Structure 1
Amino acid sequence: MNLELILQQLLLSREKRKEKQHNLIKTYGKGVISFMVNMPGAAKDTALSRQIHEIGMQLLDQFIAVNHIKVLYRSVENKVTGTEGYLVLDYPAKELKRRLIEKEDKHPIGRLFDFDVIDENYQILSRTMFNKSSRKCLICNEEAAICRRTQKHTYEQIIQKMEDMVLKNNL
């Protein structure tokens, strides 16, 4: 598969994801969790990414159970552009994002999770809204966006680090 086709698929997938998020907010009048794996490169649907997504969904399910939160909608969709999880909970979006940031920061592979929370006003709630720093690089601990933009690390280095994180934590 050529790079241009992959890029088109990723862009279309992003549009469809946004459309689904908006439809869920319209339907339920609540914020939405949109969960994907922070996966580098063009190959987004791999055994590793599915394993990480499953671990993240288990974390979400535990959070919901422990806090006795009513689930209004839940789906997981395996796509060539990566596994997508969607949840609508009877829970305030801002508090949800705050708690999910804590989960990302404390879980041994939480850095690999991408829990987006979109509130009922269609606003994506960011880490910086909660006085949290941007994500750090898996390898060198600099700002991830800078390393990604400059391609400081190879795809192979990043995948190896992700595999090591999962194995190290027996996940």
Structure 2
Amino acid sequence: MPLDALRNSLLEARDCRQALLDGMFPTQFPATVMLSLNLPGTEKTGERAERLFQWGEKALLGALKTTDAVRGCDDLGPFAIYRTRLPSKQVKRLGISLESMHPAGRLLDLDIYDHAGRPVSRVGLDIAPRACLICPEPALACIHARRHQSEELMLRARRIIDAL
């Protein structure tokens, strides 16, 4: 797939996910969790992505009491949305703990929303930003500075998933 077509399909998938989320608020549940993957490069689906997603979902469901999930898979990969009666800030802390407990957690994306659909951020909880997949610097700083080659990031992600 040409790069422009891939970029457009990823943006369209992101917009569809956001529309799905937007339709779920406001809600009686204090927290809504979207589990998706944070994979570098163009390989967002396939056996590795499924294995990582299943690992993350099992860990997440072990930590949270949730209601039924909305599940899907698009060009960004698999995703699921859960509702829980736990407070949204507590759920965010649990999510960060899950992302930090194993190298594969760094490849998960756990977005937490309050009852009105407002995202709960690390900054709002005075928690440091995510570290880079390669070095200890904040991931966004490395992305903006283009400190690491895409191939290096993809190889690191594959090695982490293959070790699951």
TM-score (structure 2 length as normaliser): 0.89
Q: Do residues 59 (structure 1) and 59 (structure 2) align? A: yes
Unpaired stretches in structure 1, ≥5 consecutive residues: none
Q: CA deviation at 1:156?
A: 1.9
Residue 143 of structure 1, aligned match among 126, 130, 138? 138
Q: Do residues 161 (structure 1) and 151 (structure 2) align? A: no
Task: Find the residue that maps to 2:161 and give its secondary structure.
Answer: helix
Task: Find the residue that maps to 1:32 and give its secondary structure.
Answer: strand
Paired residue total: 164
**Structure-1 residue corresponding to 2:3:** 3
**Structure-2 residue corresponding to 1:26:** 26
Q: CA deviation at 1:39?
A: 0.9
Identity %: 25
**Structure-1 residue corresponding to 2:93:** 98
**Structure-1 residue corresponding to 2:15:** 15
Q: CA deviation at 1:147?
A: 1.7
Unpaired stretches in structure 2, ≥5 consecutive residues: none
Task: Find the residue that maps to 2:59 and give its secondary structure.
Answer: helix
Q: CA deviation at 1:58?
A: 0.6
Counterpart amino acid of residue 6 in structure 1 = L
**Structure-2 residue corresponding to 1:80:** 75
Q: Which has the higher contact order (CA 8 A, sep 6+)?
A: 2
Residue 113 of structure 2, aligned match among 113, 118, 122? 118
C-alpha distance in 2 between matches for 1:5 and 1:18: 20
Counterpart amino acid of residue 54 in structure 1 = Q
